Chain A
Amino acid sequence: MSKTYSLTLTIKRYDPERSVSWFQTYRLEAGPILRFVDLFRKINVELDATLAWASSCEHAQCGSCSVNINGRPMLACELLVENAVALFGVTEFKITPVSVAPVVRDLVVDWEKAYERVHRSKPYLIKPKKLPPGMTGFRISPAELSRYEEATRCINCFCCAEACISGNRNFIGPNAAMASIVRMMDPREEGKDERLNLLYSEEGIYRCHTSKACSHVCPKKIDVAHFLALAKEGAF
Chain B
Amino acid sequence: MQVIEREELDRLIGLLAGDGYEVIGPTLRDDAIQYGPVRGIEDLPAGWTDEQDGGHYRLRRRDDRALFGYVVGPQSWKQYLFPPSQTIFRARRDADGLHMEPAPVQAPKRAFLGMRACELHALAIQDQVFTEGPYVDEPYERRRGSIFRVAVNCGQAGGTCFCVSMETGPRADRGFDLALTEILEGGRHYFTLEVGSDAGQAVADRLSASQAGEDEHRASMAATEAAAAQMGRQLDTQDLPALLMGNLEHPRWDEVADRCLSCANCTMVCPTCFCSSVHDSADLAGSEAVRERVWDSCFNQAFSYIAGGSIRSTPVSRYRQWMTHKLATWHEQFGTSGCVGCGRCITWCPVGIDITEEAAAIRATDQRRKRRDG
- Say whether A associates with B: no
Write the residues of chain B forming the contact surface with A, with a CB cutoff of 8 angstroms.
none
Write the residues of chain A forming the contact surface with B, with a CB cutoff of 8 angstroms.
none
